[in-house]
Structure 1
Amino acid sequence: MQSNSSSDEPIVSINVTPLVDVGLVLVIIFMITMPFLVEKSMKIKPSDAKVVQVSSAADPILVELSEKGLLVDGRKVEMADLAGALKKTMADRNVSAVSISAGKNMPHGEVINVLDAVTAAGTKELNLMDPEEGKSVSL
């Protein structure tokens, strides 16, 4: 009689289930930790630009961008109306210099929209101000 016992035969297949489990756990760990690493590596430090005096004879028009909203010389203005309000203020005061003051926590996109509106209004001189220190950088 011939026995059909399988214990005498060598094992020819490898169980890859534990390997796949470990691989999937590592993928999940990397997916969870990756956003923290990306945010940590994208910090932008303010530049150490030289401070200059504003050269225009009259005081420039002050555009303030903060959590309170957008202000032109202390008057609240909507972003869509900024270019028109600047043109009117420049004509009324006979000034073509504009100073922009934006808080440190303001999104860069909003600051760029303000820069675009100031350029569209036809300013001749543009200054960026540090709201905390009151310093001005001329562009």
Structure 2
Amino acid sequence: MNLPSGRGRGRRAPMADINVTPLVDVMLVLLIIFMVTAPLLTAGVPVNLPDSRAKALDQEKQPIELSIDEQGRLFIDKDEVNEGDLPARLDAIANKAVGADQPPQIYLRADRGQNYGRVANVMGELSRAGLTRIALVTNAGGEAADGGTAGR
């Protein structure tokens, strides 16, 4: 049997090593891209949230975000809702969750400049509809213990 030995005849033996450096470079770039873009995907309606020292909540399902912006406009997720349409929309959300073991989690995001009575009215509508799992969203890690006026 005449096997090529790789010596003297000009043929090279195939290289059996894999160069992983380009793979690592690409993966690190992708990791950085995802780390930068992930926080930008969470907020839908720009709201100036108050500061708080509370811990973040554990999450099992995607919550429903109810937002009140600086002008007092209401948003359910990213859809603007009129004041008169709010009870019907909340009833529809509650009716959709009738078969579930518990009502859906509601994240209430209100601009820090909003009147407390306005936020309380929205919370009353949530309670009336049977949506009682309400979490007030704030900026985590705030230093203010005086009602969230730090940084103004």
Q: Which runs of 5+ in 1 are unaligned?
A: 1-45
User: What corresponds to 2:54 in structure 1?
Assistant: 50
Q: CA deviation at 1:77?
A: 1.0
Deviations 1:55-94 (A, max 9, x none): 4x21111000012410011111122322221221344476
Which amino acid counterpart does residue 114 of structure 2 have in structure 1? Answer: M
Q: CA deviation at 1:123?
A: 1.1
How many residue pairs are counted as aligned between the two chains? 87
Q: Aligned partners of 1:134 and 1:48: how far apart in 2? A: 6
User: What corresponds to 2:128 in structure 1?
Assistant: 120
Change (3 A) 1:49 1:121: farther
Identity %: 21
The farther-off stretch of 86-95 and 57-66 is 86-95
Q: TM-score, normalised by structure 1?
A: 0.52
Q: Which runs of 5+ in 2 are unaligned?
A: 1-49, 142-152
- The correspondence for 2:112, drawn from 104, 124, 127, is 104
Q: Aligned partners of 1:72 and 1:107: how far apart in 2? A: 19
Which of structure 1's runs of 4+ aligned residues deviate more than 6 A? Answer: none
Q: TM-score, normalised by structure 2?
A: 0.48
User: What corresponds to 1:16 in structure 2?
Assistant: none
Structure with more contact order per residue of length (Cα contacts < 8 Å, sep ≥ 6) = 2
SS at match of 2:85: helix
Q: Aligned partners of 1:78 and 1:91: how far apart in 2? A: 20
1:59 matches 2:43: no
The farther-off stretch of 66-75 and 104-113 is 66-75
